[in-house]
Structure 1
C-alpha cells in the first residue's frame, strides 16, 4: 500500500496534508490525477508513513 499526501493550496495551509491510500495497481494513476492539479506533495510506502 502507498500513501499519497496532498493538499489543495487554494483551500489548505501549506503544511496541511490530506491522504489517500492506493494499491500498487492504482498508485500511478492517482498520483497523476493529483499531480496534474498541483496537489500531490509526497508518495511513500504505508509502513514508512506510519513510522514517521
Structure 2
C-alpha cells in the first residue's frame, strides 16, 4: 500500500528514475479496465512529457494533458 503524499511534498515525474519536478499531468484510462469517466494520472517533467504521452497514446489510453497542480505552467 502506498503512503499518500503530503501537501508539503513536491510532485515528481513518473518516468522511471526521474526525480525532476512534475509540470504536466497526463490523464489516462484503459477502456478495457476502467469506466469511461475514470482518469488515472501520470506526472511528467517537461523532458518526459512526450515519451510518457507517446506511450499512453500508442495504446489508446491518453485522454488529456494538463498542467500539474502547483506547476509553473499554470502561471504562463
TM-score class, shorter: 0.7 to 0.9
Say how many residue pairs are matched.
48
Structure 1 unaligned blocks of 5 or more? none
TM-score by length of 1: 0.88
Structure 2 unaligned blocks of 5 or more? 1-22, 71-76
| Correspondence 1:5 to 2:18 | no
RMSD, aligned CA:
1.2
Greater helix content: 1
TM-score by length of 2: 0.61
4+ runs deviating over 4 angstroms = none
Greater radius of gyration (CA): 2
